[in-house]
Chain A
Amino acid sequence: MFEYCANPDTLEGVRWVSCYLTTAKHMMFYESFLVVIGLMLITVPCAMAFGFGGALAARSHVAPLRWIGKGYAAMVRGVPDIAFFLFVPLALDQGLEWMRHKVKCPDWDQPIRQGNDFVVCAQAKLPLGSAPQWQHETYGIILAVAAFAFVFGAFAAHVLSGAMNAVPKAQLETAEAYGMSRGQITRRILIPQMWVYALPGLSNLWMVLIKATPLLFLLGVQDIVYWARELGGSKTSAYAYPHPDWRLYYFLALLVFYLGLTKVSEIGLSRLNRRLSRGQATMAGEEQRKATA
């Protein structure tokens, strides 16, 4: 980064630190913070989509749909997260490769499962073996998002269906009396009103999601916890910047980051709550009405 960093062995004091903290490896550490935040921002809409689908399916009048919706929530909530974090990417990856294999290599005569090995033809690999590293990393992140969305979607589905049930029945009956169809009631009355009931549960989920990001490393995404452990571990002179065990300082930095993230989310969520309570027949909404009156 700086010109005087060319020869790390001769550096001392502030200069050593400034060079040390700007090595390419540290830059990857800093980037991983953005990866984690970005990943959460992508995961939330995906998980909400899963959750909405699950909640609406669980309320459906069509029995098979209802079974799927309820089964999805019950199954994912009942099985340890970590099992799904390992299962979903693996199953998705092998499932996609298997389908590509069937389409692209119809003449293949060897079995796909050879003992422990999962073997598909080279053209069916995802991404292709010759693809650059960034494509492999992006693919890994997409699989991670899918796993997170699948697991958190089930929790969101439960929260949302609870919130839908919490909307006063009288509201829905009134809508019916005005001649609205079921779809119209859901879109115009049920969904706008349920948010205020869903928010506490959803904000809980968001907090859990923030803290679950270290599970990313399990899926091969190099996240902030991986880098903190890797950079903080004691380094012999095989490295350009040898140092003793500094994991404590790196993990302190993570502590500050996570606390900061939690604080910012709390502020944001409480604002959202105030906004959603406006005009609602809840205690918070009633207080707002009295304050302005």
Chain B
Amino acid sequence: MKTLIQATAILALTAGMGMAQTVRLGTEGAYPPYNLINDAGEVDGFERELGDELCKRAELTCEWVTNDWDSIIPNLVSGNYDVIMAGMSITPERDEVIDFTQNYTPPSSSSYVGLSDDVDITGGVIAAQTATIQAAHVAETGATLLEFATPDETVAAVRNGEADAVLADKDFLVPIVAESGGELSFVGDDVPLGGGVGAGLRESDTELKEKLDAAIGSMKEDGTLNAMITKWFGEDALTYE
């Protein structure tokens, strides 16, 4: 028994040494089902499972860290972690500051959710999370934009009447509407926004970008990515052809 423990310990040590450098993955941990902190206090969700699989395929040792959404790009750029996987849509504005891998969810829609169907989404008060594509969209429509630091607060603002509706990724809103017991409902048409969700990297990190791109590509090819999307976002979610 004792030799067995020693053997596994040595094996674990040497295996650790053999692997490439540790890549730190930064996420928000407040955007279920993309990313969340589960009741064991660990990062969980679609991006956790996807990220772990990508690291396995790219033969990287990965570690998850959480960071506030507001400062998630500055902290990437100053090197606190190496990759952002936080439900971040690929947009030209963000692409000027950081680099993105190819997307790992297809460009999907954002939706409005309110307490009733007859909410005025072009002239009312619309809640959205700060520095998101949804916030930028609301600002353009002429509605009054109400910004919050976390996604959860945007929904809470609709529930307590502070905002008429919330605009967020449909995948995030679907379980919330489904479990609200009829209190919340989708309003108006879906809005197609952004170029899908991708992993963000420093512009100087070209080698890591290639590795992750290849891993995402291989997951798209063998269908594992589609299976993962269906598992976390339901049967109706958009998948790759």
A joins B in a complex: yes
Measuring CB to CB, which residues of chain A are less than 8 angstroms from any residue of chain B?
8, 23-25, 27-28, 90, 93-94, 97, 114-120, 122, 125, 129-130, 133, 136, 217-218, 220, 222, 229-230, 233-234, 236-242, 245, 247
For A117, A125, A222, A242, the residue with the greatest tally of chain B CB atoms inside 10 Å of its CB is A117
Given A25-B40, A239-B39: A130 and B65 within 8 A (CB)?
no
Complex alpha-carbon distance, A240 and B41, angstroms: 12
Q: Is there contact, CB below 8 Å, between A116 and B97?
A: yes
**Does B86 count as interface, using CB distance less than 8 angstroms?**
no
Q: Is there contact, CB below 8 Å, between A133 and B78?
A: no
Name the B residues within 8 Å of A122 (CB-CB).
21
Instruction: Report A243 CB to chain B, min CB distance, Å.
Output: 11
Instruction: Report A88 CB to chain B, min CB distance, Å.
Output: 14
Q: Is there contact, CB below 8 Å, between A118 and B79?
A: yes
Q: Is there contact, CB below 8 Å, between B150 and A233?
A: yes
Q: Is there contact, CB below 8 Å, between A238 and B24?
A: no
Instruction: Report A87 CB to chain B, min CB distance, Å.
Output: 12
The segment from B29-37, B104-112, B186-194, B221-229 that touches chain A is B29-37
Q: Is there contact, CB below 8 Å, between B152 and A117?
A: no
Measuring CB to CB, which residues of chain B are less than 8 angstroms from any residue of chain A?
21-24, 29-30, 32-33, 36-42, 45, 61, 63, 65-68, 71, 75, 77-80, 82, 97-98, 150, 152-153, 155-156, 159, 175-176, 179, 202-204
Complex alpha-carbon distance, A25 and B39, angstroms: 5
Tally inter-chain residue pairs, CB-CB below 8 A. Answer: 96
Given A122-B21, A233-B152, A245-B159: A238 and B79 within 8 A (CB)?
no
Complex alpha-carbon distance, A25 and B41, angstroms: 4
Complex alpha-carbon distance, A117 and B176, angstroms: 38
Instruction: Report B6 CB to chain A, min CB distance, Å.
Output: 22
Q: Is there contact, CB below 8 Å, between B40 and A90?
A: no
Instruction: Report A22 CB to chain B, min CB distance, Å.
Output: 10
Since A93-B78, A233-B150, A238-B45 are in contact, a sample of 19 more A-B pairs with Cβ atoms closer than 8 Å, ordered by chain A residue number, is: A23-B39, A23-B41, A28-B41, A115-B204, A117-B79, A117-B202, A118-B78, A118-B79, A119-B79, A122-B21, A129-B21, A220-B75, A230-B30, A233-B30, A233-B153, A236-B32, A236-B176, A238-B32, A239-B32
Complex alpha-carbon distance, A238 and B179, angstroms: 11
Name the A residues within 8 Å of B79 (CB-CB).
97, 117-120, 125
Q: Is there contact, CB below 8 Å, between A234 and B36?
A: no
**Which A-chain residue is minimally distant from B79 (CB atoms)?**
A118
**Which A-chain residue is minimally distant from B178 (CB atoms)?**
A236
Complex alpha-carbon distance, A234 and B42, angstroms: 18
Complex alpha-carbon distance, A240 and B40, angstroms: 9
**Which B-chain residue is minimally distant from A31 (CB atoms)?**
B41
Instruction: Report A135 CB to chain B, min CB distance, Å.
Output: 11
Instruction: Report A127 CB to chain B, min CB distance, Å.
Output: 11
Instruction: Report A8 CB to chain B, min CB distance, Å.
Output: 8
Q: Is there contact, CB below 8 Å, between A234 and B156?
A: yes
Name the B residues within 8 Å of A241 (CB-CB).
39
Q: Is there contact, CB below 8 Å, between B39 and A247?
A: no
Name the A residues within 8 Å of B176 (CB-CB).
234, 236
Instruction: Report B183 CB to chain A, min CB distance, Å.
Output: 10
Complex alpha-carbon distance, A234 and B22, angstroms: 34
Name the B residues within 8 Å of A129 (CB-CB).
21-24, 82
Q: When the two chains form the complex, which single residue of B29, B42, B78 contacts A90, counting CB atoms closer than 8 Å?
A: B78
For A24, A130, A238, the residue with the greatest tally of chain B CB atoms inside 10 Å of its CB is A238
Given A117-B204, A238-B33, A245-B159: A130 and B40 within 8 A (CB)?
no
Q: Is there contact, CB below 8 Å, between B153 and A133?
A: no
Complex alpha-carbon distance, A90 and B203, angstroms: 20
Name the B residues within 8 Å of A229 (CB-CB).
150, 152
Complex alpha-carbon distance, A33 and B77, angstroms: 31
Complex alpha-carbon distance, A116 and B74, angstroms: 9
Q: Is there contact, CB below 8 Å, between B38 and A25?
A: yes
Interface CB pairs A-B, < 8 A, 18: A24-B41, A25-B37, A25-B40, A93-B78, A116-B97, A116-B203, A117-B77, A117-B203, A118-B78, A119-B79, A222-B66, A229-B150, A230-B37, A233-B150, A233-B153, A238-B32, A238-B33, A239-B38
